[in-house]
Chains A and B, each alone.
Chain A
Amino acid sequence: MNLLAARGSLRIRLLAGTLFWIAASIAIAAWGLGSLFREHVATQFNGELRTHLDQLTAHLAVDGQGHPTLAVPLSDPRLRLPYSGLYWQIDELGEGSAKAGVAAGAERAKQVAAGSLRSRSLWDSVLDVPPDAPADGEIHRHRVAGPADSMLGMVERVVRIDDPAAGLPRSFRLIVAADERLMVEPVARFDGALWLALGVLAAGLVVAALVQVSVGLAPLRKLHGALGRVRNGDAQTLVGKFPAEVMPLVDEFNSVLTQNAEVVERARTHAGNLAHALKTPLSVLANAATGKDDELARLVVTQVDTAKRQVDYHLARAQAAAAMRVPGARTTVRPVLEGLLRTMRRIHAGRQLELVLQPIAGDPAFRGEENDLQEMLGNLLDNACKWARSRVEVDARLEQGSLLIRVDDDGQGIAAADRDAVLRRGVRADQQVPGTGLGLSIADDLAQLYGGELALADSPLAGLRVVLRLPAAGSAVGG
């Protein structure tokens, strides 16, 4: 996973963050619990040594022959088991040592009779303890090498006992030692159990984090789907219930969509107003020039015609271009066709035309603005009515995801060679021959802006067949 992808994906960011904190928490917990336990075990280890040392101190006595002896054997069975890891040893310190007081320990150490009394567990070895002579009541702690390459933790204290036989107080150095392995083994066992427990916990947290990220990001996937429907023209706004954190985003986006539609509508209105403002003076000019037969009048008439064509053409283009930016537009075909046919029947009432709308299967819809569909179909129908002898037929249906509208007339048709010229593909409006209708080429332009196409063919009615193919809108009804 490279850094860019990590920065780019919300899922990876959330997961990486969560996983980092899980790992950090687990590590801290492991270290904390481990050291707590180690401390506890060490305390227990030392406490045990102290207990044994106290027992040793309590039971130490000197028998009639002047030998140190234990009045009662120490209870722990490990002390009788050879090399069990728990040992004690009593060294007798030389005479006068007590009087030497704080004199150098090294000197006194020479006077030691090491191992004058030892636990059975030491068997025939003697603890080799560093020379030391704790003062009265002091307990000293050391690490020493023990039998069988072990390291021992040991405590020692010096006790003075009055020997009634000798009449002199005698000093004994009491030592209790234990193999450090007795401390290490429980720690190792604990560490094993601890890591296992923490591992299971971490795994659980990771699974929980994955589930949480997936559930938490689900609204974003839903938002993506809703946006897709808007883009496809199946909906005009984002529809659906979203969590409170996403809902403001959805509302904002919907208001942007609405505002966008309003802006387009305003632009359309402005364009219409401009056309209106221009065309009335043009009418006045044209009428003033009509009927007069001089150079200026003829110039005015032709230029007014050109100006009108330009205004019509660019108005249509501007409206279509504006329409393309409204996402989610959806227009049902049937009412548009019915309205236009009503209009055609009225406008061409004098010609006794038979206008037939073939039955429409289902309810096909155009993915685009109603105005533009009206503009395209209006021009096609008007053209057909102008050229038809007696009959115009209209048919609309869905075919392979496209909307297909056919307009047939029984007029004289257009020769195959002239069809491209009629649509004036690639010819700009101001280069067109004056006096010819713009209807078909405006419809063609609009269809192409929507990614559709206009095709001319021979009609079974003997005249022209115009086939308009446009993007269809899905069956889902938008808001």
Chain B
Amino acid sequence: MRILVVEDEPLLQTQLADALRSAGYAVDTAGNGVDAHHLGDSGSHDAVVLDLGLPQIDGITVLRKWRAAGRDMPVLILTARDGWHEKVSGIDAGADDYLTKPFHMEELLARLRALIRRAGGHASAELLCGPLTLDTRNGRATVNGQALALTSHEYRVLAYLMHHREQVISRSDLVEHIYAQDFDRDSNTVEVFIARLRKKLPPGLIETVRGLGYRLTAPR
């Protein structure tokens, strides 16, 4: 899962990015409206945390541009302005949720999880696929109740596949969504992660669809 954090206050941006990374997300950051628009327009983020008071282009305008261009990732607005007037105009511009400063990081993480889950069409915080369970609240994956020990990259790959289970995910899609922008990407490493996951999971859970990518599917 890859998140875009847009916040112009450097200290808060760092705090957000750290908290999100330790929650298992790949994180991109932007400190102004122009960079934010550019990054978000790539379409490779699973969610955006967007501060409204931005230099150059304000957050609402950036959000409108994304929505006009058909970008439909969930957006959580983060702002100091907590009047309902701002909330309504934020939601009408295409935001999915709203959090006012100062906020509790746990609440932000919970809201973000819920947004990502809903975007994938999942009602519960626990994602199920056969014997495999992923609790998005604490990042724990279990097979038949047995906890799996995963590295952060393995977790990201698994979480992305769980959110899009029964769908074919291309290798480049996976790369887009598990690495932050500035990371030195190597699509071969994805194969390595998949291979490691297959060893830890019951056989047959991750299928290879030749020429297209991978699919997480419950065994019939």
Query: Scoring A residues 341 to 360 as 1 if CB is less than 8 Å from chain B, else 0, what string do you get?
Result: 01100110110000000000
Note all chain A residues with C-beta closer than 8 A to B83. 272, 319, 371, 374-375
Note all chain A residues with C-beta closer than 8 A to B82. 275, 312
Q: Are B15 and A284 in contact (CB under 8 A)?
A: yes
Among B12, B91, B98, which residue has its beta carbon within 8 angstroms of that of A283?
Answer: B12
Tell me, yes or no, whether B208 is within 8 Å of chain A by CB: no
A339-B88, A343-B91, A374-B84 given; A285·B102 CB < 8 A? yes
Q: Are B11 and A284 in contact (CB under 8 A)?
A: yes
Chain B min CB distance to A149 (Å): 103
Which of A188-196, A286-294, A408-416, A471-479 has 4 or more CB atoms under 8 Å from chain B?
Answer: A286-294
Note all chain A residues with C-beta closer than 8 A to B114. 350
Query: Scoring B residues 87 to 105 as 1 if CB is less than 8 Å from chain A, else 0, what string do you get?
Result: 1100110011110111111
Q: Are A342 and B92 in contact (CB under 8 A)?
A: yes
Q: Are A282 and B84 in contact (CB under 8 A)?
A: no
Among B9, B15, B85, B91, which residue has its beta carbon within 8 angstroms of that of A346?
Answer: B91
Bound CA–CA A280/B81 (angstroms): 10
Q: Are B12 and A287 in contact (CB under 8 A)?
A: yes
Chain B min CB distance to A53 (Å): 108
Tell me, yes or no, whether A379 is within 8 Å of chain B by CB: yes
Tell me, yes or no, whether A50 is within 8 Å of chain B by CB: no
Q: Are B92 and A290 in contact (CB under 8 A)?
A: no
CB-nearest residue of chain B relative to A377?
B84
Tell me, yes or no, whether A378 is within 8 Å of chain B by CB: yes
Which residue, A278, A280, A374, A378, has most C-beta atoms of chain B within 10 A? A280
Bound CA–CA A189/B80 (angstroms): 95
CB-nearest residue of chain A relative to B123?
A350
Q: Are A375 and B96 in contact (CB under 8 A)?
A: no
A-B pairs with beta carbons under 8 A, tally: 88
Chain B min CB distance to A399 (Å): 24
CB-nearest residue of chain B relative to A352?
B123
Chain A min CB distance to B127 (Å): 15
Bound CA–CA A279/B97 (angstroms): 19
Note all chain A residues with C-beta closer than 8 A to B104. 286, 290
Within 8 A of A (CB), among B175-194: none
Q: Are B102 and A283 in contact (CB under 8 A)?
A: yes
Interface size class of A (residues with CB under 8 A): 35 or more
Tell me, yes or no, whether B196 is within 8 Å of chain A by CB: no
Q: Are A280 and B84 in contact (CB under 8 A)?
A: no
Tell me, yes or no, whether A308 is within 8 Å of chain B by CB: yes
Note all chain B residues with C-beta closer than 8 A to A350. 114, 118
Among B11, B84, B96, which residue has its beta carbon within 8 angstroms of that of A378?
Answer: B84
Tell me, yes or no, whether A304 is within 8 Å of chain B by CB: yes
Note all chain B residues with C-beta closer than 8 A to A395. none
Chain B min CB distance to A315 (Å): 8
Interface residues contributed by chain B, number (CB under 8 Å)? 31
Q: Are A346 and B101 in contact (CB under 8 A)?
A: no
Within 8 A of A (CB), among B9-25: 9, 11-12, 15-16, 19
Note all chain B residues with C-beta closer than 8 A to A349. 96, 118
Q: Are B80 and A279 in contact (CB under 8 A)?
A: yes
Note all chain B residues with C-beta closer than 8 A to A288. 15
Within 8 A of A (CB), among B102-137: 102-106, 114, 118
CB-nearest residue of chain B relative to A341?
B88
Q: Are B88 and A374 in contact (CB under 8 A)?
A: yes
Q: Are B12 and A280 in contact (CB under 8 A)?
A: yes
Q: Are B81 and A283 in contact (CB under 8 A)?
A: no
Tell me, yes or no, whether A276 is within 8 Å of chain B by CB: yes
Q: Are A370 and B85 in contact (CB under 8 A)?
A: yes
By DSSP majority rule, is chain A's interface helix, strand, loop, or mixed?
helix
Chain A min CB distance to B106 (Å): 8
Q: Are A272 and B81 in contact (CB under 8 A)?
A: yes
Q: Are B12 and A284 in contact (CB under 8 A)?
A: yes
Chain A min CB distance to B151 (Å): 22
Among A286, A347, A370, which residue has its beta carbon within 8 angstroms of that of B98?
Answer: A347
Q: Are B88 and A340 in contact (CB under 8 A)?
A: yes
Within 8 A of B (CB), among A273-319: 275-280, 282-288, 290-291, 304, 308, 312, 319
Note all chain A residues with C-beta closer than 8 A to B33. none
Note all chain A residues with C-beta closer than 8 A to B80. 275-280
Tell me, yes or no, whether B53 is within 8 Å of chain A by CB: yes
Chain A min CB distance to B95 (Å): 7
A276-B53, A279-B100, A280-B101 given; A287·B19 CB < 8 A? yes
CB-nearest residue of chain B relative to A336?
B88
Q: Are B101 and A279 in contact (CB under 8 A)?
A: yes
Within 8 A of B (CB), among A373-428: 374-375, 377-379
Bound CA–CA A298/B79 (angstroms): 24
A280-B9, A346-B96, A346-B97 given; A275·B81 CB < 8 A? yes
Within 8 A of B (CB), among A323-349: 339-340, 342-343, 346-347, 349
Q: Are A347 and B92 in contact (CB under 8 A)?
A: no
CB-nearest residue of chain B relative to A376?
B84
Q: Are A347 and B91 in contact (CB under 8 A)?
A: yes
30 CB-based A-B contacts, threshold 8 Å: A272-B81, A272-B83, A275-B80, A276-B79, A276-B80, A279-B80, A279-B100, A280-B9, A282-B101, A284-B11, A285-B102, A287-B12, A287-B15, A287-B16, A290-B104, A290-B106, A291-B105, A304-B102, A308-B102, A340-B88, A342-B88, A342-B92, A343-B87, A343-B92, A346-B91, A346-B96, A349-B96, A349-B118, A371-B85, A375-B83
Other than the given A283-B12, A283-B101, 4 more pairs (CB < 8 A) read: A284-B12, A286-B102, A291-B105, A371-B85
Q: Which 7 A-B pairs have the closest CB atoms?
A: A378-B84, A279-B80, A276-B80, A279-B101, A282-B102, A283-B102, A343-B91
